[in-house]
Amino acid sequence: MLEIYKNSTYAENNPDWHEADAPWKATQIGTMIKRNKITFDSLCEVGCGTGDVILNLERAFDFSRGFGYEISPHAYRRAKSKETTRTKFYLEDVFDAPDAPFDVLLAVDVIEHVEDYINFTKRLRSLAKFKIFHIPLDLSVQSLLRRRPILHLRASVGHLHYFFKDSALATLRDCGYNVIDYCYTASRIELPNQALSSRLMSVPRRAMFALNKDLTVRVLGGYSLLVLAE
């Protein structure tokens, strides 16, 4: 499956590389960092895409060194053109990073794409003091009943693994992480350019979420999980 990122397949299916989502994702991450009073000087993002998440964070935080690692030549070329004096991008495996360990490492919508996600997640532990994961919660009652949403995610964006809140947290703990904080993010409600079905579902999702967060996410879906771990 890694070949779809190294060749043109993913780029053809997602020509914008979800750049419009980056400010929203950076805002969620920034809120988590501030809430937990995390101070850091170096920030690394694994699977950084075209680099806009870490560049948005550069504008919000005063860290001195930013590192973006990407395996797709297409995404890397776009990221490389945006380099700053503080943030650099690399077309290589993050596990070969000479500057590790970092203060904070981001894995934003990454582990669901990795074939051996357990080993991958375990290996990330040694690369930074703090790790922030953003994990789509693709499993819900409505997605299982409809089936199409999950199959569409597999075909269009390469999701190989599907999580709900408890399985995502259990995965991190089984991989040796101490979970410090986590929260839901309203990915299918607040992200731009959503499908009509997601826009129609936003009203019941918002209403139910105000009453019972866990039940809403398990039944209606539409949310992701943001986790701070060490």
The strands making up 179-185's β-sheet, listed across from edge to edge, are: 87-90, 65-69, 42-46, 102-108, 128-136, 224-229, 179-185
Q: 17, 11 in Cβ contact below 8 A?
A: yes
Q: 111, 117 in Cβ contact below 8 A?
A: yes
CA-closest candidate to residue 32, choices 205, 184, 223, 187: 184
In terms of DSSP bridges, do strands 87-90 and 102-108 run parallel, antiparallel, or are they unpaired? unpaired
CA separation for the pair 52, 19 (Å, rounded): 6
DSSP-assigned beta bridge partners for residue 42: 65
- pLDDT averaged over consecutive 10-residue blocks of the chain (230 residues)? 76 84 97 98 97 97 97 95 97 94 98 96 98 98 94 91 98 98 93 78 92 97 97
Q: Quote the pTM value.
A: 0.94
Q: 180, 229 in Cβ contact below 8 A?
A: yes
* pLDDT reported for residue 190: 87
* pLDDT reported for residue 210: 94
In terms of DSSP bridges, do strands 128-136 and 224-229 run parallel, antiparallel, or are they unpaired? antiparallel
* pLDDT reported for residue 119: 98
DSSP-assigned beta bridge partners for residue 228: 132, 181
DSSP-assigned beta bridge partners for residue 182: 227
CA-closest candidate to residue 100, choices 108, 90, 112: 90
DSSP-assigned beta bridge partners for residue 69: 46, 90
CA separation for the pair 194, 202 (Å, rounded): 10
* pLDDT reported for residue 1: 59
Q: 152, 188 in Cβ contact below 8 A?
A: no
Residue the block writes with tokens 């190989």: 160
- Segment holding 198, helix H or strand E: helix 196-211
Class of residue 186 by CB neighbours under 10 A (exposed 0-12, middle 13-18, buried 19+): middle
* pLDDT reported for residue 7: 80
What contacts 211, CB < 8 A, 6 or more positions away? none
Positive or negative CA dihedral for 52, 124, 149, 6? positive
* pLDDT reported for residue 9: 82
- Domain residue spans of the chain: 3-229
* pLDDT reported for residue 16: 80
Q: What is the CATH number of domain 3-229?
A: 3.40.50.150
